[in-house]
């Protein structure tokens, strides 16, 4: 029998993301950097200059798109957004994935039910998102009319929570 030990605290309820353990005593950026499914998001956060913000005290709820979510954008979009000339647009898109509060999936479900099925939130970037909880799943509609599904919920961080999503949320253009 082999026993594995780790440094850091992992709650039994904290799921792995991108094959990596997510530690409740690490911040959003530290954990995201360990996920092989979020390399594009980490590169974008660095290019946008948002590392210090997302390592801040929080609390934050981050809807974290996977590499596949970014790859589903029209060809060349990610490369274009990562150019220094497009930093403002990149910041806007990324901050449309962040809410300045900690909201676990149970919280989202309660808020949606209290609001007749859909709860509207304003993100750090000033975007509106509409959160719907149905049959134990959370869906998010963005200002551009796109919809993302939370594929991994309630990944607790030292400064908030991450919910992994399958689409990039976009502001109204």
pLDDT (average), residues 80-86: 93
CB 29 within 8 A of CB 51: yes
Number of Cβ atoms within 10 Å of the Cβ of 59 = 15
Please state, rounded to an integer, the average pLDDT across all residues of the chain.
Answer: 89
Segment 19-75, tens digit of pLDDT: 888 889 999 999 999 999 999 999 999 999 999 999 999 999 999 999 999 999 999
Q: Say whether pTM exceeds 0.85.
A: yes
Segment 64-79, tens digit of pLDDT: 999 999 999 999 999 9
Does the bond joining 167 to the residue before it have cis omega, within 30 degrees of 0? no
pLDDT (average), residues 86-95: 95
Give the CATH fold of the 28-165 domain: FAS1 domain (2.30.180)
Q: Is the pLDDT of residue 153 over 50?
A: yes
- CA nearest neighbour of 38 among 58, 25, 20, 24: 20
Q: Is the pLDDT of residue 13 over 70?
A: no
Token pair of 67, please? 């590499």
**In Å, how far are 110, 166, 170 from 152, measured between CA atoms?**
18, 9, 20
Between CA 29 and CA 55 the distance in angstroms is: 6
Q: Where are the beta strands (DSSP E) in 50-104?
A: 60-65, 98-99
């Amino acid at each position: 029998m082999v026993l594995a030990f780790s440094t850091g605290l992992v709650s039994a309820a904290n799921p792995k993301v991108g094959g990596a353990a997510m530690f409740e005593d690490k911040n959003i950026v530290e954990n995201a950097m360990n996920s092989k499914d979020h390399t594009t998001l980490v590169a974008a956060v660095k290019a946008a200059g948002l590392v210090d913000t997302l390592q801040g005290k929080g609390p934050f709820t981050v809807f974290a798109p996977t590499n596949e979510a970014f790859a589903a954008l029209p060809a060349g979009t990610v490369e274009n957004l990562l150019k220094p000339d497009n930093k403002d647009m990149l910041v806007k898109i990324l901050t449309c994935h962040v809410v300045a509060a900690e909201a676990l999936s149970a919280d989202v479900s309660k808020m949606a039910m209290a609001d007749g099925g859909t709860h509207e939130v304003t993100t750090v970037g000033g975007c509106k998102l509409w959160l719907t909880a149905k049959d134990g799943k959370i869906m998010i509609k963005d200002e551009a009319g796109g919809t993302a599904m939370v594929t991994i919920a309630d990944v607790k961080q030292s400064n908030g929570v991450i919910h992994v999503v399958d689409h990039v949320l976009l502001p109204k253009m």
